[in-house]
Amino acid sequence: MIYAGESFAIAILERLVHLGNARIPANHVFGAITVPSQLEVEAIGPRDVTAWDADDMAASRRFGDAWFDQRRTAVLMVPSLVTRIDRNVLLNSRHPDFPRITVTPPAPVSWDRRLFAGHDGTR
């Protein structure tokens, strides 16, 4: 499964929340994903999965695992826990339509040092 953000900004925020107090990441790259308009996309909202935002993530993981195992669609849009407004994108690499999804060549991520304020500037 590939976990992505609907926008570059949410992808960066999702990554940042998992970095904790780490240093500024080196050698991070990103690619823009294109999903053909003909592909079916499943989308869920916060009300579709009871306890989707629970700390243990059990309900959201159960839903995602079932979606992946059942290969219902190649793309699943889910709410972002970080912003509760934006959406993340899950891609099912085992779905027959997955090869139709394209990604641009990798480009470097330029992290803004201000995101790591309070650290020594190299973090």
Q: Check residue 17 and give its pLDDT.
A: 87
Q: Check residue 116 and give its pLDDT.
A: 81
H runs (alpha helix) in 5-123: 8-19, 58-70
**Collapsed DSSP state (helix, strand, coil) of residue 17:** helix
What residue ranges do the domains of the chain occupy? 2-7+30-108
pTM of the model: 0.87
Angle, alpha carbons 52-20-5 (nearest 5°)? 50
> 6-47, pLDDT tens digit by residue?
999 999 999 988 887 678 888 899 999 999 999 999 999 999
